[in-house]
Each structure stands twice: as C-alpha cells, then as structure tokens.
Amino acid sequence: MAKMTGAQALTRSLVREGVEVVFALPGVQIMEAFNALYDEPSLRLVLVRHEQSAAYMADGYARTTGKPGVAMVVPGPGALNATAALGTAFASSSPVMLISGQIESYNLGVNRGALHEIGEQLDVFKHLTKWCDRTTESSEIPTLVHRAMEQLTTGRPRPVEIEVPWDILPNQTEIELLEQEVHPKRRPEPADVKSAANALAHAKRPLIWAGGGSREADLSPELLELSQVLNAPVITTPEGKGALPEDNPLSLGTIYNGHGPGHNVVPQSDVILVIGSRMHMVPPVDWSPQPHQTLIQIDADPEEVGRNIPVTTGMAADGRLALQDLLAELGGKTRASQWTLEELDSIRATTKEEIQAMAPLQVEIINSIRQELDDDAIMVSGTTEVGYWSHLAFPALTPRSYLTSSYFATLGYAFPTALGAKVGNPDRQVVATSGDGGFGYASSELATAVQERLNVVTILFNNESFGASYADQENRFGGRVIGTRIHNPDYAKLAESYGAEGIKLSGHQDLRPALRDALKADGPVLIEVPIPNLVPPFQIPPPGMIRHT
Ligand SMILES: Cc1ncc(C[n+]2csc(CCOP(=O)(O)OP(=O)(O)O)c2C)c(N)n1
C-alpha cells in the first residue's frame, strides 16, 4: 500500500503490467492521467490527432509485437471516434485496451448533460469488445487494469475497454498496486488430441488451414514442424499470412473471397486441420470442406468451433499448445503423405497464373513492392485495389508481418495502423498501401508521424475515386456513376506541408527506386502512384462460386 492519486494508480498499474506505450489524445477528463504520465519515463506517450488513430495505432502495435496495445481517449466524442478502430481490432482478434475517461462518478446515470456524456457508455462498447467495465473507486483502479490485462492475454485476444470517471483520478488515497500475472493458456483435451493425431497420421492428403488465430498463438515454429512431419501443405487466410513463410515449399498461399489455392487443393484433401480460422466462406464456394472430409478445428474461442462448418474434432484451446500436443502425440516421425512436391509446385503455379490473369497490373505493382522489402518488413494492406490483391499475391515471409482489417474491411485504417506498427518495431521496415479515398481518413496523422519521426512509407494509389464503389457502379449498375469520383489534394505537397517527404510518381514503373529511397528516410514518406480504375477480387466471381437465385 502507498499513498497515490487515482491517476498515478492508473499509470503505475500500466507500467507494472508491462505496458510501454500509450497512444492518446488529451481532454479534460484524462488530464490527470496525462499529468501522471509526466512522471513515468518508461511509459511513452504517442500523441495522435484523432481518436480513431489512437486505437488503430494500438492495434498495429499489438498485432505486430504480440503485446497488448493501449489507447487513451476522452469519453463521449473521443470514445465514439475510436469505435471503428475498436471494431477493426475486434474483427482482427487484436488485444487492444481502450481507456476511456468518464464523466464525474456522481453524474453517472443521471443524464444531466455532463461534458462529453453518453447515456451509458459501456453499452456502446459491449459489442465492440470482449469485456468492458469501469470503477468509481480510485483504490479499485489497479484491479480494473489487472482484469483488463487478464482478458487481453487469455483465450481469444480481442479489445477491452475500461472507464475511469475523472473525479476519482485526483483522489489521494492508500492504493495497493498489483503485480503482472502470467495466465496459463488452455490445453486441448487429451482425447481430442489423440483422435486428431490419429486422423492426421493416417491421412493420405492432409491439409493445414491457418487463420489469424495462428498469429496470436505465435505458433509458427510448431506449424513448420507439423507441416513437415505430416508432409501437409499449408494455406492461410489473409489474417494468417506469414504463419508459415510463403516461400516455403509446403506453403500454397492465401485464400481470399473464394480466390487463391482453395479450389485447387481443398477438394483433394482428406483430412483438414484448421487453426484459428472461422472458415466463413464469402462468397459461398463449392470447394469449402465437405462432410466426407475429416475436419479438425483448433480455436482459442470455444464459440468459433464448428460455428460455420460442422467439424469432426473440435479443440477449444491455445493454438500453440494444441500443436505441441499434436506433435508429441505424433511422435515426431515423418509421415509419408501422398502429396508430392511436384504436385504442390503445380498447384502453386496454377494459382499464380489464375491471379496473374485476373490482375496483371496489381500483381506487377505488388511484386515490385515485395522486391524492395526485407523479409521481416511489415506490410499493412489497405482497403484498396492493390491491398486486396496483395492478400493473394504478396508473399508474407515472417509471422506478424502482414496486417489486414479482416472482415471489418475498414477504409482508412492502414496509415495509422502502420504508424502503431512502427512504434512497436522501430528496426523493421513498415509500409502501408492506401487508396486516395482511404488515406483521407487519417491524413492528419502525418503530423504524428513527423513529430515521432516514424519512417512509415505509405504508397497511395490515386485513381481519383472511391474505386471499389466506382467499379461496382460500372459493372453492376450499368455505368450510372454517382458519388464515387473524388477531388484530391496534391498529396506530395500535402505531405511536405506537414514536414514529411512527398513523392509524386508519373507511373507505377518508377515505384521500385522511389520505395528503395523512401525506406532509408528519417521520417514518413508518402509516395503517390497514379493508377487506372481496376476491379477488386470480390467483384470477380471465383472458381466454384455458388450462385443463389
Ligand atoms: C469505413 C468504411 N466506409 C466505407 C467503406 C466502403 N468502401 C469500401 S472500398 C471503398 C472505396 C475505397 O476507395 P479508395 O480508398 O480510393 O481505394 P480504391 O478502391 O480506389 O482502391 C469504399 C467507400 C468501407 N469499407 N469502410
């Protein structure tokens, strides 16, 4: 026990729980907390320009480091500004803690119209978080933070939100701080491990399907070993990219919106091991796992097991522990499945040709980006033409190196998310791709990037439109174009006006040397690339798509 203010209890608790960075934007209800941060040199405050970015940055930091990301905002408008980012973190199973201030504890529930009041703020966050709570006692702040950390580090990682009314932050009282706790992860049931191992050991053509859960379970070493022991090829979802390096001979690449290797490999497989994926097939395709195939699903979230496709064996467990148990059960002896490397090479080549034929320009651009990047560079693929196609054509070579906005498909997330990734990984290259429409959402964070000297390179593809929506009007609405063409600033000049570097290319052919130089800069660089309007993968029917009449 020691005498301290509620705000000190908050910041000291964060330090004890291992937090190193808080992404925040000030306001009266959290000024006490800012004041307490003044005395915590180990806790870096990254000041942002919009609350959406605080939460996006916390997400980018969390997904690339494996450590919870923390954002702090004022209640009401600040908290609401953060919601799209929190929803993105929820969809992406990312451990983000949003600390929202609150109105005075004595005004809670009275609807008096206190500054920044929302009737019941916790209700806003109920469906955007795994857990949210508040305290009205300063002595309870360490417990609130501790419980939030427990939620972030156990089971399926998803965001949490905590609230502290501002009148309890200056209170000086005896407060006991808590020590960081390492919570045990959940092991699978031994009987399930036995039956799954038995099915995999006898599989003729086993297949491993790795989703975003593989990222959060950090199971890459085990995944590599298991794929080799079973001689099983691996496909991933966009969120699982990099779980097995995509240049590994057993990697077949990524399935996305029905495209990719799925139709070339799933039907031929007899036993499919799914790790950390919902198996939600959008659009529905005839190559999704069928009842005659043995389906084994491992997921940290018990509610996900069998939700979209019935499974033969389900394991609600930590992915890494489950793979370790499977490997132990299999005894480390290599199984000779029927897959040959020639067959896998042929599937890979066919898939590549299919993608190349659908999107030649996008693939050319993606290849030129990949060629300039280190293996462990972080790519935040924006909600844009080149971003969608990168799911299919950009090989991710290390874990935690490829970020998407998952099923939220959030426009505008890429640039701020990349900034958070860079804060957490100062020694890795970080690149974001963005459309002209998407970049506008958080362009003011150029100021943050300059202030924090973050060398994030944003490649902005300018087609002077909300391109995906424009293409939709061209293709589905007979060219009746309305509300999809946009006026743009001169992006290079915009970046320069913030003190960042801005480069305007006359064509995508010049991208490679520009990117090479940009990656060596001492701060943010924006590279604008003009491109024509193109068609995203979700507007091209994939092989085996089931059409509903
Ligand atoms: C927050 C949000 N608002 C709207 C959308 C719908 N939407 C998806 S793509 C798109 C157009 C994006 O335009 P741009 O960023 O310029 O990229 P482009 O499609 O031109 O490559 C829109 C409006 C969305 N996904 N997210």
CA distances from 361 to 48, 258, 393, 472 (A): 35, 20, 11, 19
What pLDDT, in 10s, does the model give residues 89-112?
999 999 999 999 999 999 999 999
Secondary structure of residue 386 in the 3-state scheme: helix
User: Is the CB of residue 411 below 6 angstroms from any atom belonging to ligand 1?
Assistant: yes
Phi first, then psi, for residue 70 (nearest 5°) are -120, 130
Residues 394, 366: contact at Cβ < 8 Å?
yes
Secondary structure of residue 133 in the 3-state scheme: strand
Is the bond leading into 283 cis (omega within 30 degrees of zero)? yes
Pocket test for ligand 1, best of 389, 411, 473 (most atoms within 8 A of CB): 411
- CA–centroid distance, residue 466 to ligand 1 (Å): 6
Secondary structure of residue 352 in the 3-state scheme: helix
How are strands ordered across the β-sheet holding 402-403?
A: 402-403, 378-380, 430-435, 456-462, 525-530, 501-504
Torsion, Cα 290 215 48 29, to 10 degrees, reads 80
* Integer Cα distance of 215 and 62 in angstroms: 11
What pLDDT, in 10s, does the model give residues 16-65?
999 999 999 999 999 999 999 999 999 999 999 999 999 999 999 999 99
- CA–centroid distance, residue 412 to ligand 1 (Å): 8
* Integer Cα distance of 12 and 177 in angstroms: 8
For residue 547, the model assigns a pLDDT of 82
Residue nearest to atom 17 of ligand 1 (CA): 435
Q: Where are the beta strands (DSSP E) in 168-312?
A: 172-175, 206-210, 234-236, 251-254, 271-275, 294-299
- CA–centroid distance, residue 410 to ligand 1 (Å): 8
Residues 4, 12: contact at Cβ < 8 Å?
yes
Residues 236, 173: contact at Cβ < 8 Å?
no
* Integer Cα distance of 266 and 289 in angstroms: 7
User: Is the CB of residue 52 below 6 angstroms from any atom belonging to ligand 1?
Assistant: no
Residue nearest to atom 12 of ligand 1 (CA): 466
User: Is the CB of residue 385 below 6 angstroms from any atom belonging to ligand 1?
Assistant: yes
Tokens matching residue 28 = 């009266």
- CA–centroid distance, residue 163 to ligand 1 (Å): 32
Ligand 1 atom closest to the Cα of residue 383 is 9
Secondary structure of residue 256 in the 3-state scheme: strand
User: Is the CB of residue 463 below 6 angstroms from any atom belonging to ligand 1?
Assistant: yes
For residue 549, the model assigns a pLDDT of 64
**Phi-psi domain of 449 (left: phi exceeds 0; alpha: psi -120 through 50; beta: other):** alpha
- CA–centroid distance, residue 305 to ligand 1 (Å): 31
CA distances from 407 to 212, 235, 256 (A): 11, 18, 11
Stated pTM of the model: 0.98
Instruction: List the beta bridge partners of residue 547.
Output: none
- CA–centroid distance, residue 540 to ligand 1 (Å): 17
Distance of CA 420 to the CA centre of its chain: 11
What pLDDT, in 10s, does the model give residues 432-443?
999 999 999 999
Ligand 1 atom closest to the Cα of residue 536 is 19
Pairing of strands 69-73, 430-435: unpaired
For residue 45, the model assigns a pLDDT of 98
Instruction: List the beta bridge partners of residue 380.
Output: 403, 432
Pocket test for ligand 1, best of 88, 388, 462, 466 (most atoms within 8 A of CB): 466
User: Is the CB of residue 436 below 6 angstroms from any atom belonging to ligand 1?
Assistant: yes
User: Is the CB of residue 231 below 6 angstroms from any atom belonging to ligand 1?
Assistant: no
Residue nearest to atom 4 of ligand 1 (CA): 411
Ligand 1 atom closest to the Cα of residue 533 is 20
Distant-in-sequence, close-in-space partners of 312: CB < 8 Å, separation ≥ 6: 199, 294, 295, 296
244 exposed, middle or buried (CB, 10 Å; 0-12, 13-18, 19+)? buried
User: Is the CB of residue 435 below 6 angstroms from any atom belonging to ligand 1?
Assistant: yes
Residue nearest to atom 6 of ligand 1 (CA): 411
In this prediction, the residues of the chain whose per-residue pLDDT falls under 50 are: none
* Integer Cα distance of 80 and 52 in angstroms: 9
**140-160 per-residue burial string, b: 16 or more CB within 10 A, e: under 16:** bbbbbbbbbbebbbebbbbbb
For residue 237, the model assigns a pLDDT of 98
- CA–centroid distance, residue 127 to ligand 1 (Å): 23
Residue nearest to atom 5 of ligand 1 (CA): 411
User: Is the CB of residue 466 below 6 angstroms from any atom belonging to ligand 1?
Assistant: yes
User: Is the CB of residue 384 below 6 angstroms from any atom belonging to ligand 1?
Assistant: yes
16 exposed, middle or buried (CB, 10 Å; 0-12, 13-18, 19+)? middle
- CA–centroid distance, residue 43 to ligand 1 (Å): 35
User: Is the CB of residue 56 below 6 angstroms from any atom belonging to ligand 1?
Assistant: no
User: Is the CB of residue 417 below 6 angstroms from any atom belonging to ligand 1?
Assistant: no
Ligand 1 atom closest to the Cα of residue 471 is 19
- CA–centroid distance, residue 442 to ligand 1 (Å): 14
Tokens matching residue 90 = 């929820």
**442-466 per-residue burial string, b: 16 or more CB within 10 A, e: under 16:** bbebbbbbbbbebbbbbbbbbbbbb
**Phi-psi domain of 157 (left: phi exceeds 0; alpha: psi -120 through 50; beta: other):** beta
For residue 286, the model assigns a pLDDT of 95
Phi first, then psi, for residue 461 (nearest 5°) are -95, 115
Ligand 1 atom closest to the Cα of residue 387 is 21
User: Is the CB of residue 387 below 6 angstroms from any atom belonging to ligand 1?
Assistant: no
